[in-house]
Amino acid sequence: RHHVLSLSDFTNAEYNTVLQTAASFMEVLSRRTKKVPTLQGQVVANLFFEPSTRTRSSFELAAKRLSADTLNFASATSSITKGETILDTAKTYLAMGTDIMVIRHKEAGVPQAIAAEMDRLGVRVNVLNAGDGQHEHPSQGLLDLFTICTLLDADSPQIELLKDKKIAIVGDIVHSRVARSNIWSFTASGAHVHLAGPPTLLPKLFANYGEDQPGKLFLHWELEPALQDADFVMTLRLQKERMTAHLLPSLREYHQMYGITHSRLELCKPEVKILHPGPVNRGVEISSEVMDDPKFSLIQNQVSSGVAIRMALLYLIGSGKS
C-alpha cells in the first residue's frame, strides 16, 4: 500500500499488520530512549489545512521517534492566505524533498487529490489522510481499533478479538469522519455496531453499506437499545463547525437525551469501556465524571495509542525508501 486514504478497502491481514507493528512500537515507546533510526533522512510534512491538536502532534512525535525530519504547516500562517492553491502547496513541499505528506482538510477528497497528483507526477511520495471533511479519518479508526484490541490482548492485538462484541457509536454520526472509519474497521472485525443519535445527525442512507463485512450495523434514534449490554461505547462530539444552525440541538437537551453518564452506563456490560476521539465537549456528549473515571474511560489510552499507530503507519509506508 502506497497511500493510506481510507479504511474501506483494508483487509484483515492489513489491519493485523498495523496492529502488530504498533504493538512493537508501544514496546519501543516504553524504553528510556524511545527512538529508532528507521526513517533517518526522510522528511515527513504535516500539511494541516484544518485545526488539530492530537493528530498533528502525534504524527509529528511519531515521525521524530522514527528519526525522520518533520515540517509542520498550518494554513492560517501559510501562503494559502495569499492565494496559493492546495496542489501548489503540496508541490512546494515536494520540491523540498518531502517523502511522506500527512494531510488534513475540511473538504472530503483533498488527500486523495494530492495523492493522485503525486502519482501523476511519478514521484515516490506517500500520502496519509489525517481527516478529510466528513469522509474518513483512517489513523483515528486504526488507533481506536488498537486501543480496544490491546485491552483485550496486549501482547497480540488482532482485529478478530472484536468478533461478536457489541460496540455503540453515539452522537453526531452524520458529520463524523471518525465514525465512518470506525464503521469500516469494527464491522470488518465481526463486531455488531450500533449507531445512536438524533435522527437529524444519523446517516439517512445505509443501504448496502459494508454488506460484505462480517459484522452487522444497526441504527437507533434512541440511546437505550444501543447501550444495552454494550462492550464498548464510542461517544462523538457535536461538530458545530459542520452544521447549519437548524441542525444544532440545544446542548442541555442533547445531554439529557444522548449524554453518556454513570447512570446510563448501568445499561451496558459491567466491564464496558468508553472511547472518544476528542476533542471533548464536557457535559454535552459525555459527563465530566465519566470522562475522568479510570474504571470506564479509555480516552487517554487512545491518545497514547495514537503515537504508536502513527509510527506504524509511517514505518509501513515509508520504510525501504532510505
For ligand CP, which stretch binds (CB under 6 A), given 49-57, 66-74, 91-99, 186-194? 49-57
Give long-range contacts, CB 8 A cutoff, 24+ apart: 53-57.
53/278, 53/279, 54/278, 54/303, 54/306, 55/104, 55/130, 55/131, 55/137, 55/139, 55/140, 55/306, 56/102, 56/104, 56/130
Rounded least distance, CB 57 to ligand CP, Å: 8
Residue of this chain nearest to ligand CP (CB atom): 55
Q: Is 1 in the site for ligand CP (CB under 6 A)?
A: no
Return the sign of the alpha-carbon dihedral for residues 18, 24, 26, 29: negative
Q: How far apart are CA 168 and CA 170, in angstroms?
A: 6
Return the sign of the alpha-carbon dihedral for residues 161, 162, 164, 166: positive
What is the C-alpha R_g of the chain?
A: 19
Rounded least distance, CB 139 to ligand CP, Å: 8
Closest residue by Cα to residue 297 from 310, 288, 306: 288
Rounded least distance, CB 247 to ligand CP, Å: 20
C-alpha cell at 221: 434514534
Query: Applying CB under 6 A, which of residues 28, 29, 36, 54 lies at the interface with ligand CP?
Result: 54
Rounded least distance, CB 142 to ligand CP, Å: 12
Could you give the angle at the alpha carbon of 93 between the alpha carbons of 92 and 99, nearest 5°?
A: 145
Query: Applying CB under 6 A, which of residues 11, 40, 53, 288 lies at the interface with ligand CP?
Result: 53
Rounded least distance, CB 55 to ligand CP, Å: 3
Considering beta carbons, is residue 54 or 106 the nearer one to ligand CP? 54
Q: Is 300 in the site for ligand CP (CB under 6 A)?
A: no
Rounded least distance, CB 28 to ligand CP, Å: 23
Site for ligand CP in 261-280 (CB under 6 A): 277-279
Q: Is 140 in the site for ligand CP (CB under 6 A)?
A: yes
Q: Where are the beta strands (DSSP E) in the chain?
A: 43-48, 69-74, 100-105, 126-132, 166-170, 192-196, 216-220, 232-235, 273-275
Rounded least distance, CB 270 to ligand CP, Å: 28
Annotate each residue in 117-136 with x if it binds ligand CP (CB under 6 A) or - if it does not, as one string. --------------x-----
Q: Is 141 in the site for ligand CP (CB under 6 A)?
A: no
Q: Is 52 in the site for ligand CP (CB under 6 A)?
A: yes
Q: Which residues pair with 193 in a beta bridge?
A: 167, 217
Applying CB under 6 A, the residues found at the interface with ligand CP are 52-55, 131, 137, 140, 277-279
